[in-house]
């Protein structure tokens, strides 16, 4: 199972993004500055945006989903129950998972962005997909929810998960790191070796690398373990 980007280019005026690489089964982390093209690449991988040149192919991907950075763009229902049903999911189960039980009649647009994010992520994570694309999944979430999301993602046994994020503290166990730099997608490789080439690495990872204490991965537990070795 994989997703292949073959010489894909997106042009928008003076801005462009070039991506070439293969995303195999596992959890991939894609980093980059604001405006570097993370959301564009996420849309492209989810099949919602076609590159100007190049092709996107896949092998054995039968189902895929994307979580948008802004959860309100997912909303199509008049109330929370209708919203859950628009995903073909049981409102009682989803609202309970999202911590919104008993609010079936509430309009999704009356929720805070954090609550809306919890709802949308609960809907998306309620099913198994071969390709799961998450654009800034940690934004608007508190630390408790970030930890819960990391735990759920780390438990995904099959399929390809691609996380596009600026997050600096909370990560699930990552298999491969990618970075977008100056309009080009770079493969930094698998962990733990990728931390040496990871330019957008969180400060704690850079400090650990500087002290020669290489974390096995970037999950909270792995970083704490590396810190304890100092």
DSSP SS3 for 160: strand
Residue 137 and residue 149 in contact, taking contact as beta carbons nearer than 8 Å: yes
- d(CA 119, CA 121) in angstroms, rounded, equals 6
Indicate which single residue of 55, 57, 60, 72 sits in contact with another protein (rule: CB under 8 A).
Answer: 72
Q: Is 68 in the site for another protein (CB under 8 A)?
A: yes
Residue 1 and residue 25 in contact, taking contact as beta carbons nearer than 8 Å: yes
Tell me how far, at minimum, the Cβ of 108 lies from another protein, in Å: 9
Site size toward another protein (CB under 8 A) is 17
Residue 183 and residue 15 in contact, taking contact as beta carbons nearer than 8 Å: yes
Site string for another protein, 106-135 (x = CB under 8 A): ---x--------------------------
Indicate which single residue of 28, 74, 103, 188 sits in contact with another protein (rule: CB under 8 A).
Answer: 74
Q: Is 70 in the site for another protein (CB under 8 A)?
A: yes
- d(CA 68, CA 85) in angstroms, rounded, equals 19
Which CB atom, from 66 or from 201, has the smaller least distance to another protein? 66
Q: Output b/e per residue, 174-185; b: 16+ Cβ within 10 A.
A: bbbbbbbeebeb
Q: Is 139 in the site for another protein (CB under 8 A)?
A: no
Which CB atom, from 52 or from 181, has the smaller least distance to another protein? 52
């Amino acid at each position: 199972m994989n997703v292949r980007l073959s010489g894909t280019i997106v042009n928008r005026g003076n801005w462009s993004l070039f991506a070439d690489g293969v995303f195999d089964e596992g959890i991939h982390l894609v980093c980059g500055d604001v405006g570097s093209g993370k959301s564009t690449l996420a849309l492209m991988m989810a099949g919602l945006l076609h590159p100007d040149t190049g092709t996107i192919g896949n092998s054995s991907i039968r189902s895929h989903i994307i979580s948008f950075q802004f959860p309100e763009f997912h909303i199509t229902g008049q109330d929370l129950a209708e919203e859950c049903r628009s995903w073909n999911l049981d409102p009682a189960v989803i609202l309970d998972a999202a911590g919104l039980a008993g609010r079936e009649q509430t309009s999704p647009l009356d929720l805070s962005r954090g609550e809306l994010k919890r709802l949308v992520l609960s809907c998306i994570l309620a099913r198994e997909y071969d390709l799961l694309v998450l654009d800034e999944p940690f934004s608007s979430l508190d630390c408790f929810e970030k930890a819960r999301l990391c735990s759920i993602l780390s438990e995904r046994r099959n399929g390809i998960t691609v996380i596009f994020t600026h997050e600096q503290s909370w990560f699930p166990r990552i298999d491969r790191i990618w970075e977008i730099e100056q309009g080009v997608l770079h493969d930094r490789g698998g962990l733990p070796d990728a931390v040496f080439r990871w330019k957008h690495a969180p400060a704690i990872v850079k400090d650990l690398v500087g002290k020669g204490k290489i974390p096995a991965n970037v999950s909270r537990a792995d970083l704490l373990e590396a810190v304890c070795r100092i």
